[in-house]
Amino acid sequence: MGSGRIFPPVIDKDNTQSGVYMSFISTKSNGLVSVEDLAVKELAQKYGTPLYIYSKAQLEEHLNAYNAASSDVEHLVCYAVKANSNIAILQLMASLGTGFDIVSGGELARVIEAGGDPKKVVYSGVAKTFSEIEYALDQQILCFNVESPAELERINSIAISKKVKAPISIRVNPDVDAGTHPYISTGLKNNKFGVPVETAFELYKHAATLEGVKVIGIDCHIGSQLTSLTPFVDALDRILALVDRLAAEGIQLEHIDIGGGLGVVYKDEVPPAVSDYLKVVKSKLAGRKLKLICEPGRSMVANAGVLVTRCEYLKQGEVCNFCIVDAAMNDMIRPSLYSAWMRIEEADHNLDRPENVYNVVGPICETGDFLGKERSLKVQEGDFLVMHGAGAYGFAMSSNYNSRPRAAELMVEGGKVHVIRDRESVSDLWRNEHKL
């Protein structure tokens, strides 16, 4: 195990996937969708909906895949906190020795609160503020992934004032098309991320002269939900060519950070397996003394979590039927924002209901508030539905739009439930507001 594709658990009725991951979220032979040993339906009845449920074993399985595939080289997996920043998930990752990729001071604070080691933290993001840089320097993080010449100057001057040296990589934008949704493509020259190869070359030479900076690595992240190895390889080739040019200038790097971006299966995508991805990376790095850092987010958590929702009403329209559920775009924005297709199924397959095609929509007053379109479902009012692949960029992107308290989150461990986030109460909605 531990070398397969990040696969959705849904096609797996007997809890195994030959050659891919052990799947801990599946429909058991009793017809109930279960997370490890617990039926989603029962959890929904007890804890209410909308409800996020994660499998601890599935998270460990995905992390193991990365560690197993890079065990023969010096490496550090830096989980991209943005994908799912629940403190229990960070705590689990930290307890297994994982590092973290962060993009804000808030994420660094979360990592530390969760017991993460700041010395295993890489800090990406295009707009690091003065106070965030100071905080990260005080915490002695592993590396700043510098995204612009101006940011380099700022980091240098803050480090000088603190009489320390800031460890840095430069995030290189290799101008490679990741072949993913334009909103989550980050490695093209019209994207705001990183600096072009030629700028990076000059910036490295400049950085090497700065008193407050220690050049230690190079970084690249070209986008998310990549389903082909080709863009990764193209980017790596460009980065390694730059590494060689820098070496010729006497600038030796200690690590290469290849970013995240490996895709998962939501529907019928066939993304590379972690092992295949890292095999190619390692072959490119062979013979070089570069520690390998990677920043996976989605592939660690997406298919380790589900979102459970309850059908409130069925409504027949003139051209389509609606299954109106109690989860909405404020709970899971991916379908609305990226037209993302997320699998939705009945939590209990034993129920005898007529099958119909529905648009699964939420209560929010936006036509764009939908979770899925044209889905065949056997459902009636009061039944629970399960959205798969919801562990990444689900709760993390949720909001209180339409004054909707945010969902509760559970982590299942075998037959045990951990409530890792309480459901927000209505009074939480205005907790930080003040009457005149």
Ligand X SMILES: N[C@@H](CCCC[NH3+])C(=O)O
Residues with a known catalytic role = 365
Nearer to ligand X, 17 or 224 (CB): 224
296 marked among binding-site residues: yes
Nearer to ligand PLP, 227 or 321 (CB): 227
Within 4-148, where are the H helices?
A: 40-47, 56-69, 87-95, 105-113, 130-138
Nearer to ligand X, 178 or 210 (CB): 178
The two structure tokens encoding residue 83: 């994908």
Q: Which does 334 bind (CB under 5 to 8 A by kind): ligand PLP, ligand X, none?
A: ligand X
64: how many CB neighbours lie within 10 A of its CB? Answer: 18
334 marked among binding-site residues: yes
Nearest-approach distance from CB 203 to ligand PLP, in angstroms: 18
189: how many CB neighbours lie within 10 A of its CB? Answer: 10
Query: Which residues are at the interface with ligand X (CB under 6 A)?
Result: 82, 184, 224-225, 334, 338, 393
Nearer to ligand PLP, 295 or 369 (CB): 295
Nearest-approach distance from CB 190 to ligand PLP, in angstroms: 16
Helices (H) and strands (E) in the chain, counts: 11, 21
Q: Is 127 exposed, middle or buried (0-12, 13-18, 19+ CB in 10 A)?
A: exposed
Nearer to ligand X, 68 or 188 (CB): 188
Nearest-approach distance from CB 395 to ligand PLP, in angstroms: 14
Q: Which does 185 bind (CB under 5 to 8 A by kind): ligand X, ligand PLP, none?
A: none
Q: Which does 296 bind (CB under 5 to 8 A by kind): ligand X, ligand PLP, none?
A: ligand PLP
- How far is 418 from 260, CA to CA, in rounded Å? 28
Query: Which residues are at the interface with ligand PLP (CB under 6 A)?
Result: 80, 83, 101, 124, 221, 224, 259-262, 295-299
What are the φ/ψ torsions at residue 293 (nearest 5 degrees)? -115, 140
Nearest-approach distance from CB 166 to ligand X, in angstroms: 23
Reference 295, options 143, 140, 134, 127; nearest CA is 143
374 marked among binding-site residues: no
8 marked among binding-site residues: no
Q: Which does 295 bind (CB under 5 to 8 A by kind): ligand X, ligand PLP, none?
A: ligand PLP
Question: Which residues, other chains included, contact 231 with Cβ-Cβ below 8 Å and sequence gap of 6+?
Answer: 176, 177, 178, 179, 187, 222, 223
Nearest-approach distance from CB 83 to ligand PLP, in angstroms: 5
Q: Which does 217 bind (CB under 5 to 8 A by kind): ligand X, ligand PLP, none?
A: none
Please check whether residue 52 is in contact with residue 390, taking contact to mean a CB–CB distance below 8 angstroms. yes
Positive or negative, the CA dihedral 326, 332, 338, 343 is negative
Q: Which does 70 bind (CB under 5 to 8 A by kind): ligand X, ligand PLP, none?
A: none
CA distances to 29, 274, 309, 366 from 124, rounded to whole Å, are: 44, 22, 34, 33
338 marked among binding-site residues: yes
Nearer to ligand X, 160 or 188 (CB): 188
Segment holding 55, helix H or strand E: strand 51-55
Q: Of all residues in this chain, which one has the CB nearest to ligand X in the complex?
A: 393
- Classify 238 as helix, strand or coil: helix
- How far is 170 from 200, CA to CA, in rounded Å? 7
Nearest-approach distance from CB 297 to ligand X, in angstroms: 7
Residues belonging to the binding site for substrate are: 298, 334, 338, 366, 393
Residues belonging to the binding site are: 261, 295-298, 334, 338, 366, 393
Residues belonging to the binding site for pyridoxal 5'-phosphate are: 261, 295-298, 393
